[in-house]
Amino acid sequence: MKRRAGILGVLCRSSEGSVIERWNHVVVVVGVCTIFFALVVCRLLLVPSVWRDPFGDVMSPTTSEFFSASPPQLSPSPKNFSILMGVFTTVHLIERRNIIRLAYGLQSTDVADVTVRFVVGLPKNESEGFQLGLENSLYGDILVLDMVENMNEGKTWKYFSTVYALGVHYDYVMKVDDDSYVRIDNLASSLAVESRTDLYYGYLGPCGNNNLQTGFMAGMGYALSWDLIEWVSTSEIVLNNTGGYGEDLMTRDWFNQGGKAKNRVSKRPFFYDHPDAHANGCSHPLNFESILIHRLKSTERWMATLKFFEYDRVGINGSTIAGYRSTLAGNESTPVGNAAALAGNETAVAGKRSTPVGNEVALAGNETALAGNGSTLFRDKAALAGNETALARDGSTQSR
């Protein structure tokens, strides 16, 4: 009996332990399910937006798919105004655009939100359209105007009116030639102290003229405040006279006839022609106070200008330099033709690009689709593809 009782006692204890273990498993499973359910409920209650269409509420397909407001921020931006800089170019000048992307990708400013976009007319044929579509798919920084490419037959007016119609507000909208190089921080710092209304800002021409009423802001680059963009886009004075002679002269005539642009600001000598241009006394040596340098009509001239302003950033053989010029350890010079990074931690400049400000978006409304696809547009700090198109030695440009 004792043995039987002993055996029975062991069996009873074993059975009791097995039941407890099973209940422990059930409790754990129920607990995990409860926690998961609670997390789901909290997510639904506290962060409902994550369950919505992630794109539907961001922007409308007919307005901000071309331009975007500043990207969402967790705290107010210290930059209290915005600039759109439209670089006038033509479809075939892809090498020029790549140089300009590098030139502006190396720059930044804490003063203003700056957006840089290329402005072109319609491609001439299917090949150009496909090229432009590929380029825009990669960079998303090209605004295609719904008109035949031209210089003085309404392109400037079409640019201003298209920007206005797309509905994204900029404090200043600038028109810049593709043979002009702008120092972004100097531009932003200069505009920071100017009026936000009725402003007509640039280089007063012709060279030597000092009369702000009879002179005009030269087409190399000039900026208008947003209220003038609105007026230019809707005024009968402008609509009846959008082309036929020099676009910079015409812009002056619009304002004189309409009694507009009471705040006219000339930034000579900070806007000027490149010293090698020998442009009737309107050029002078490069300097670090420059806002805009004009007549960079060859790759060599662009590179010489960038070398002046960015020499501390890029070594002569293509290496990048981390804030100082030095030889490699042991005073060994980097071999010519080798793009080795100094100090082992440099990144190739050609592998980076930032276009000040924004979001990639498609042409709105009746803007032309390229190669069967809505062409996309710009805004924000986007990295260039690692292997940037080699800078061709093509000196072609859109002549003024």
The DSSP-derived string for 125-139 is SHHHHHHHHHHHHHH
| Lookup: tokens for 279 | 């442009």
Determine the distance from the C-alpha atom of residue 391 to the mean position of all C-alpha atoms in its chain, rounded to a whole number. Answer: 20
pLDDT of residue 207: 86
pLDDT of residue 318: 64
> Does residue 326 sit within a domain?
no
> Does residue 287 sit within a domain?
no
Instruction: Give the Å distances, CA to CA, from 322 to 154, 311, 350.
Output: 46, 12, 15
pLDDT of residue 208: 83
Can you give the pTM of this predicted structure?
A: 0.65
> Does residue 302 sit within a domain?
no
> Hunting for tokens 């500043």 — which residue is that?
70
> Does residue 165 sit within a domain?
yes
CA-nearest of 196, 213, 191, 216 to 205 is: 216
> Does residue 315 sit within a domain?
no
> Does residue 362 sit within a domain?
yes
CB of 62 within 8 A of CB of 166? no
Range of the domain at 370: 82-270+346-380
> Does residue 162 sit within a domain?
yes
pLDDT in tens, 221-275: 999 999 999 999 999 999 999 999 999 999 999 999 999 999 999 999 999 999 9
Residues 6+ apart with CB under 8 A from 328: 334, 342, 343
pLDDT of residue 400: 41
pLDDT of residue 277: 86
Q: Which stretches in the chain have pLDDT values below 50?
A: 1-15, 41, 43-77, 323-400
CA-nearest of 128, 141, 148 to 358 is: 141
CB of 356 within 8 A of CB of 184? yes
CB of 375 within 8 A of CB of 132? yes
Instruction: Give the Å distances, CA to CA, from 26 to 15, 39, 241.
Output: 17, 20, 82
> Does residue 223 sit within a domain?
yes
- The domain total for the chain is 1
CB of 286 within 8 A of CB of 305? yes
pLDDT of residue 317: 66
For residue 322, give the DSSP letter.
S
Based on C-alpha coordinates, what's the Rg of the chain? 30
Dihedral over Cα of 306, 307, 309, 314: its sign: positive
pLDDT in tens, 327-366: 344 444 333 333 333 233 333 333 333 333 333 333 333 3
Which parts of 259-376 fold into alpha helices (H)?
299-310
> Which CATH number do you get for residue 91?
3.90.550
CA-nearest of 355, 320, 326 to 113 is: 355
Residues β-bridged to residue 116: 85
pLDDT of residue 39: 62
